[in-house]
Structure 1
């Protein structure tokens, strides 16, 4: 009985002896992986993912098959070769230079159109009725509304339709451009049988003036649009009669050429 008990205790003691080399082996493997990762360029996200795998293996006793395979991701912080960077900067500079060149050419064309319109204004003695200016949006032609409309009316007067048709001739351009007609009023409220507000009056004046322009069949209606701003974009003081007269106007905006206007 005593001899059998000693043999059993001896066998149990020998069965536990494999733990020591196994733990040493795992320690060595862990150290090896740490060294490999230390000398390699691995991003933080990937390293954290692999750390979870190792934690699962060595702390929780689970195998690597229970974790998703790390996905190879492009290193966002990788150094770009110097010649690639130089090439990219060169292309950017070329694009900027091309854009500046195109803007300069378009500005020259708009200036030529402005000169043509200014000549028309001077030849007909319309200096007090028409004005032009180059803006960030294009060439702006301002027309005092008293040139075209009776007070409180949105109908272009018959005697002034000739002026509108002559202006339409100036809008005939070899290179098509979008044209926006906008109506503006002073801040004196209007309410009659035709219009309940300055909004309606300004919109209809723009639309009716555009209709006269488009009687010229050489103009493309697809490039024209109309807007009404009421009294909300004044260019002068509405507290004076002279200021209100300037605010009552129709504007023709000739926009720069774009690919969309082809």
Structure 2
């Protein structure tokens, strides 16, 4: 073969078609990082102006969108942000009421703790119990712990209970106290009382008088109610149920009532 027929293939080279998808991937990654960067660098001032505009449009005031954080970092952030917003909308008087309401809750829990300890120490768990709810601290006393059957005279051995309760109340002045008498549905049949109305109200009154022997208590904050047999807490068809219905209740009323999610606080006059 002559040299003329020999041909050197200088055009052979490596296949570079992979560069096209590679370049596409790099372009997409670049775009992704640009988007991520732009999301992390939101103009806070512009966002605040926008939130205020939306708030004024929907509410006529600020509050709904008045937050500069875009991303919440925990499950409780929504609740915390809402609480902060509500606190921000409260005036000075409402904030003072909220602080007073917190202090009142502490007072109620202290009274309940002292009473529960007294009940435990004196082995009265079958005759007394306490319950704290949104409106009051309720102390329920079985009538057998205070009175003989058909009588409104407080037993001598039970007077110490009233004295102990009065000493506790002195530590937390200013609370309205309501003493309520209850009976079962068995008609009263003696010369002293014409009906269960009179029996229940007289029992409540007698217990209140012992409380008010403590001159550090303010009588104007105390009142009595006789409910007779008309507010039972158990069936009157059994002896056990009737025994539960014969009781005296001491209600230590809250001064502050939280009306719920809107954080509106009612102060009792």
TM exceeding 0.5? yes
The match for 1:138 is: 136
Which aligned segments of 4 or more residues in structure 1 are displaced greater than 4 angstroms? 87-92, 99-102, 258-261
The match for 1:13 is: none
Say if 1:181 and 1:212 are closer, same or farther in 2 by CA, change over 3 A: same
**Cα shift at 1:218:** 1.4
**Cα shift at 1:132:** 0.2
CA distance in 1, matches of 2:145, 2:243: 11
The match for 1:196 is: 194
The match for 1:94 is: 90
CA distance in 2, matches of 1:228, 1:250: 10
Q: Does 1:228 align with 2:203?
A: no
The match for 1:164 is: 162
Could you tell me which runs of 5 or more consecutive residues in structure 1 were left unpaired when the two chains were aligned: 1-80
The match for 2:60 is: 85
Could you tell me which runs of 5 or more consecutive residues in structure 2 were left unpaired when the two chains were aligned: 1-54, 65-85, 257-266
1:104-148 deviations in whole A, cap 9, x for unaligned? 442232112111110111111111111000123210000001111
CA distance in 1, matches of 2:187, 2:88: 53
1:172-216 deviations in whole A, cap 9, x for unaligned? 134410100000001111132111111110000000100011111
Please, what TM-score do these two structures have when normalized by structure 1? 0.62
The match for 1:155 is: 153
Q: RMSD between aligned alpha carbons?
A: 2.8
The match for 2:183 is: 185
**Cα shift at 1:248:** 0.4
Please, what TM-score do these two structures have when normalized by structure 2? 0.60
Say if 1:92 and 1:106 are closer, same or farther in 2 by CA, change over 3 A: same
Q: Does 1:110 align with 2:85?
A: no
CA distance in 1, matches of 2:172, 2:132: 20
